[in-house]
Amino acid sequence: MANQREIENARKNRLEIINAGLKRRDLFKMGLLTSTGYLVNKNGLSAWAFDDNNCGRGACHLGCSPKITPFLDPLPIPPVLPERTLADPGLSPAPQESPNNAINPVNQLPFEGRGQFNGTLRPGTDSFQFFSQYPPQHYFVQRMRANSNFRITSDTNIPAQTIWGFNQGGADPSDVAVTPGPTIVARYQQPIVVRRFNELPPQNQNGGFGVPEVSTHLHNFHAGTESDGGPCRYFFRGQYFDYYDTLQQAGFDSTNPPNGDINESMSTLWYHDHRVDHTAENVYKGLAGFHLFFNQFDTGDEGSGFHLPSFPQFDIPVILTDKLINPSTGLICFDTFENDGLVGDVQLANGKVQPFMEVSQRRYRFRVLDGGPSRFYQLFLTNPNNLSQVIPFWVIANDGNLLPTPVQVTSFRLGVAERYDIIIDFKQIAAQFGASVVRLENRLQQNDGRAPTNNILGAGRGTYCVEFRIGAQAADGSVDPATAPHFYDLPSTSLTDATVKPRISRTFTFDQSDGGWVVNDRFMSCNQIRFTVQRNSIERWVLQNDGGEWQHPIHIHLEEFQILRRGDRRSAATERSRKDVLTLNFDERAELFFRFRDFRGDYPLHCHNTVHEDHAMMLLFQVQDVGDNRTSP
């Protein structure tokens, strides 16, 4: 392999220098040593060379990570974030409608980061919309901290890692941060406030990547701009930020007062950092967790409502992330000089390398999330003892939106930030396939951060993400997807109702220009709002991927959309859904239908390959009472 040859040549060259007995001064004159004695990092001398595949010291490249034994650890189930009362010291002073901009004498910054825009306080802004109409009923606290004793595997070859994550809200050091962070559970019509403290380490203790300025986005709740956690609303170490959610479905102040349209209910969301220019490294470092929403239909109790498997025992969130590990230090690494995206060769589920889960013979709901930074997945169930078996399962939700009815599949694709809720019936699998073990396997080949190849690998040749060990039978009160239960209706669109007409159509073209990422040939700026949507109106958006080399998962905040048309093909059954991430294939064009309702303020549209996002593939738009007519903003 070229890689080995280069390393070997470099080693021989270095030994030659030593054997020649060259003086330090000779080496320096030859330009091989710096004045401080470092050997110059030149091709042919150092192990580093042009080649991406070089695994020398400092290398953070695909193929260089040490091999880690899989299936050693149980799948971590993130703890549910405990609720707190206003008597809790963490909630003093209490959350208030307008930001707490009083100056903290300890660090000369406002106590609360809300009201800051791109780091500068804008007094009088970012009060909680609708706060007095829907006062909070539940309070939560989280503290973002480093954890330097985090194990991604019990394989003793791999050292403990330093991650940045979320704790359960306590002030004590013993309340350690984890990744994924604790799962926040909320119920519709019961408004909440989540107070987040930034207790991350100073910048120069970031271990090589990570920026301790954060903005936590709830992807993809229908929320006010002040609570949305957008890219420009980051806050600093020593501050807190209160995030308030009305917990009403979209339409609560427009089409369906006072509680919104039940068919706009969402279930599986995630919270993650969104700080402009540094989202990729911060989320990669661990700043992500799940946020689940229940209501009178998706109740969390399989005895009621839609009878979906009971939470938490049979309802499991799973975040898939891939990492690179430095072959010299054994530590997770991230190259902040990279432009295309990062794909890793170490596969994690809920923060552990390829874990296993003991399951009973009954149905489980898994909420599967592609946590990025850049990888696409095509997920199958594989019986490692019989690779030829094709094992079906059910998709019940797309991007956290329950489908009208379950769809049976044998695989599904995820782009960064997409979520699919699936139901796996282990009793049926054991009976029909005689399997004692099945593995969630990613068979989509991807070699770099740009896009996957077109190659779906054969069973067993992909990357296993989670191993399910099927045990004894257990009582199952959940609905059988094969009985075709009905969940929600899809809200009308211009396709289903001729009276529903967009106020305007806009086009967004995604491309690369002179090395930087563009939307409509322009770049992201916190100082620039590109267009104005009219509150409580309908828009049709055309998304066009003009870069033939990259695939882009495009995400829009505030509202879910429906796909009117996609390329020249009909949407798959699993995509006849509300969604918030649309993966644009090479040169693909898609048309989306939006209702923009209730809230006023600015929100982003961006590619969710977080490395592209950080290199400006994003724009800000706003929703206000009077919209504009820019069709290619």
Partner 1 sequence: MSDITRRTLLVEAAATSVIAGLFPTGTASPGTASHWEAIPPRELIRQQHFPNLQLTTQHGRKVHLYDDLIKNRKVVINFMFTSCAKACPLVTANLVKVQRILHSRIGRDINMYSITLDPAVDKPEQLRLYAAKHHVGDGWLFLTGKPADIELLRRSLGFVQRNPLRDANKMNHIGVIRFGTEACMRWAACPGLAPADWIATSILSEIDGPAKGRIKGDPG
Residue 218 interacts with partner 1 (CB under 8 A): yes or no? no
At closest approach, how far in Å is the CB of 467 from partner 1?
A: 22
Residue 529 interacts with partner 1 (CB under 8 A): yes or no? no
Q: x/- string (CB under 8 A) for partner 1, residues 498-517?
A: ---------------xxxxx
Binding-site member from 1, 4, 5, 50 for partner 1 (CB under 8 A): 50
Query: What is the rounded distance in angstroms from the CA atom of residue 484 to the CA atom of residue 471?
Result: 27
Tell me which stretch binds partner 1 (CB under 8 A): 35-43, 371-379, 402-410, 474-482.
Answer: 35-43
At closest approach, how far in Å is the CB of 556 from partner 1?
A: 21
Q: x/- string (CB under 8 A) for partner 1, residues 559-588?
A: ------------------------------
At closest approach, how far in Å is the CB of 72 from partner 1?
A: 15
At closest approach, how far in Å is the CB of 281 from partner 1?
A: 9
* Closer residue to partner 1 in complex, CB, 31/173: 31
* Closer residue to partner 1 in complex, CB, 339/585: 339
Rg (CA), the chain: 25
* Closer residue to partner 1 in complex, CB, 11/630: 11
Taking CA atoms, 474 is separated from 25, 28, 236, 365, in Å, by: 76, 73, 49, 15
CB of 73 closer than 8 Å to CB of 153: yes
Query: What is the rounded distance in angstroms from the CA atom of residue 264 to the CA atom of residue 248?
Result: 9
Residue 438 interacts with partner 1 (CB under 8 A): yes or no? no
Q: Which of residues 265-304 bind partner 1 (CB under 8 A)?
A: 277-278
Binding-site member from 148, 149, 154, 203 for partner 1 (CB under 8 A): 203
Structure tokens at 327: 């072959």
279 backbone dihedrals φ, ψ, rounded to 5°: -60, -45
Structure tokens at 177: 């941060």
At closest approach, how far in Å is the CB of 195 from partner 1?
A: 17
Residue 431 interacts with partner 1 (CB under 8 A): yes or no? no
Residue 424 interacts with partner 1 (CB under 8 A): yes or no? no
* Closer residue to partner 1 in complex, CB, 276/440: 276
Binding-site member from 137, 259, 336, 571 for partner 1 (CB under 8 A): 336
Residue 327 interacts with partner 1 (CB under 8 A): yes or no? yes
Binding-site member from 18, 87, 475, 498 for partner 1 (CB under 8 A): 18
Q: Strand locations in 26-82, DSSP E? A: none
Query: How many residues bind to partner 1 according to rule CB under 8 A?
Result: 86
* Closer residue to partner 1 in complex, CB, 525/537: 525
Residue 209 interacts with partner 1 (CB under 8 A): yes or no? yes
Residue 198 interacts with partner 1 (CB under 8 A): yes or no? yes
Type of residue numbered 58? G
Query: What is the rounded distance in angstroms from the CA atom of residue 396 to the CA atom of residue 425?
Result: 13
Binding-site member from 102, 107, 390, 461 for partner 1 (CB under 8 A): 107
Q: Are strands 315-325 and 332-333 parallel, antiparallel or unpaired?
A: antiparallel
At closest approach, how far in Å is the CB of 43 from partner 1?
A: 6
DSSP string, 259-311: T--GGG---EEEEEE--TTTHHHHHHTT-EEEEEEE-SSS-S-TTSTT-PPPT
Taking CA atoms, 523 is separated from 452, 515, 616, in Å, by: 25, 12, 6
262 backbone dihedrals φ, ψ, rounded to 5°: -55, -30
Query: What is the rounded distance in angstroms from the CA atom of residue 44 to the CA atom of residue 28?
Result: 17
Binding-site member from 414, 459, 582, 616 for partner 1 (CB under 8 A): 616
Tell me which stretch binds partner 1 (CB under 8 A): 51-59, 282-290, 411-419, 488-496.
Answer: 51-59
Query: What is the rounded distance in angstroms from the CA atom of residue 550 to the CA atom of residue 397?
Result: 27
What pairs with residue 186 in β-bridges? Answer: 293
Q: Which of residues 147-176 bind partner 1 (CB under 8 A)?
A: 156-157, 159
CB of 467 closer than 8 Å to CB of 355: yes
491 backbone dihedrals φ, ψ, rounded to 5°: -55, 155
> Hey, what's the torsion of the CAs at 469, 473, 478, 482, to 10 degrees?
80
Binding-site member from 1, 4, 5, 36 for partner 1 (CB under 8 A): 36
SS3 state of residue 602: strand
Residue 29 interacts with partner 1 (CB under 8 A): yes or no? no
* Closer residue to partner 1 in complex, CB, 13/389: 13
Q: Which of residues 359-388 bind partner 1 (CB under 8 A)?
A: none
SS3 state of residue 533: strand
